[in-house]
Amino acid sequence: MRVFVLDKNRKPLDPCKPARARILLKQGKARVIKRYPFTIIIQEKEVKNCVTHKHQLKIDPGAKTTGLAIVQDNQVIWGAELTHRGFQIKDALTSRRQLRRSRRNRKTRYRKPRFLNRKRPEGWLAPSLMSRVHNILTWTKKLIKLCPITGISQELVRFDTQKMENPEISSVEYQQGTLYGYELREYLLEKWNRKCAYCGAANTRLEIEHIKPLAKGGSNRVSNLAIACYKCNQTKGAQEIEQFLSGKPSILKRVLAQGKKPLADAAAVNSTRWKLYEELKSTGLPIETGSGGLTKYNRCRQNLPKTHWLDAANVGQVDNLHIEDFQPLLITAKGHGTRQMCRTDKFGFPSRYVTRLKFVKGFQTGDIVKAIVTKGNKIGTYTGRVAIRQTGSFNISTKNGLLQGISHKYCSTVHNKDGYSYSF
C-alpha cells in the first residue's frame, strides 16, 4: 500500500510508493509522523510543482467488518479492513442490565415504578449500532486529513428485501433489474455462512435450493431458500426435507431454524446505513451510493477475491481496477477502556479493584509497543498492543497470541493509544 504524505503545513499531498518514501527518509527530506497508517511529513518549507489528483474514498459497511479503500484513476492505492466491537458492546450492556435488575430486585423490590415519561431523541440508535457509525466516521475524517480525498462512495443498500420477501411483486410496484440475482445470492451466502446447509461443504460450487420443494407446494420466498452444494442439491431433488434428513435430526432442526431466522448482521447494517449516510454528508464531500448487488457484480466481473476491502473498492460505478498491493491494513476497534472502579465476578460482586493511574513507566494500556527481549525464556522481538500492570510487567497482544510478563525495560512506544489495534 502507498504511504501518506503531508507537507510542512500538514496539508495532504498525493500518497507515494514505499520506495519513494524510503528515499525521502534516507535523504532527510522527510520524517515519520504516524505509524498506523504509515505517514511521512516533508521537511522542506515549500513543495514546488506539486499537483494533487482526485482520490475517492470507498466504504463497504458491515456488521462485523467494514472495508475501506482509496482509489485514484481506477488504481486501488490503499485499503483497510475495520473490525467493529458492536456485538461486544451489546453483550456488555446485556450483562450490566441483568446485574442491575438483580440488584434492584434484592434491594428495592417494593419501589414504585417510574412514570413512563422518557422519550428517546429523534435519530437515536442503540450504542452497539452507533459504535459502528462512529468508527467509520472517525476513519473517514482521519483519511481526509492524510489524503486529498474529493469524494466518498458508500454501499447504501445491501439487499433488495422487498423483492425477496414478495417475489410475485411486479410491474409498477417493482421493476426487476439485472442485479436482482446478485442481491438474492449474496443474502443467502451471508445467511448460510457460505457453506452447504446440509453437509457443511465450503469452497465449492454452491447452488440455491428450496427447503420445501416447489413440486410439493414450496414458494420462492427467501425463508424457503437455502444454499447447497451440487451433490446435496441433486440428491435431495424433490424430496421433502424431513425425508431427505430422516437420519440426521440435529441437521434437520438446524436447517429449519436457520431458514426462518432473520439475518442479524444485515439488520445491523440496514439500521445504520442512513445514519452513516447523514453523518458522511457532514464532511462536505459529494457522496456516491451503490447496492451490494452492484458491488458483487463489479467484483465478479473482474475475478477479484472476496474480501471486505476489495468489496469497498468495487462500490458504485467501477471500470477495470488495478490493485497495487493485496495486503491491507487490519484495524480492530478496542475502545478507550472503562470507567469501572472495580471488576466484578460473574455474579456481579466486586472481585478486584482497578488502579486510577493510567500511565505506568510511561506506558498506558492500548499503546502499540515493540519489545526486544534479550534474556530469559522469552527472547525475541515482539510488536503489539500493551496492557500495563502496576508492577511494570506488561502483557503484549501480538498477531500470534498473548505474551505475558514482559518487563517495561524491553518496551519502546511505536504508536500511542487511539482506541484501535493494527496488523497486516
The yes-or-no verdict on residue 139 having pLDDT over 90 is yes
406-420 as b/e, with b when 16 or more CB fall inside 10 Å?
A: bebebbeeebebbeb
The yes-or-no verdict on residue 81 having pLDDT over 60 is yes
Lowest mean pLDDT among 43-47, 158-162, 357-361: 158-162
Q: How confident is the model at residue 168 (pLDDT cuts 50, 70, 90)?
A: low
224-273 per-position pLDDT tens digit: 888 999 989 898 888 888 888 888 888 888 888 888 776 666 677 777 88
Tell me which of 168 and 115 has the higher pLDDT.
115
Residue 175 is predicted with a pLDDT of: 42
Residues in the chain: 424
Residue 176 is predicted with a pLDDT of: 46
Q: How confident is the model at residue 177 (pLDDT cuts 50, 70, 90)?
A: very low
Residue 44 is predicted with a pLDDT of: 80
The yes-or-no verdict on residue 143 having pLDDT over 70 is yes
The yes-or-no verdict on residue 142 having pLDDT over 90 is yes
342-415 has which fold? Answer: SH3 type barrels. (2.30.30)
Output the average pLDDT for the chain: 85
Please compute the mean of the pLDDT values over residues 58-86 and round it to a whole number. 92
Lowest mean pLDDT among 45-49, 279-283, 364-368: 45-49
**pTM of this prediction?**
0.77
Residue 182 is predicted with a pLDDT of: 58
Residue 134 is predicted with a pLDDT of: 94
Burial (CB count <10 Å: 0-12, 13-18, 19+), residue 233: buried
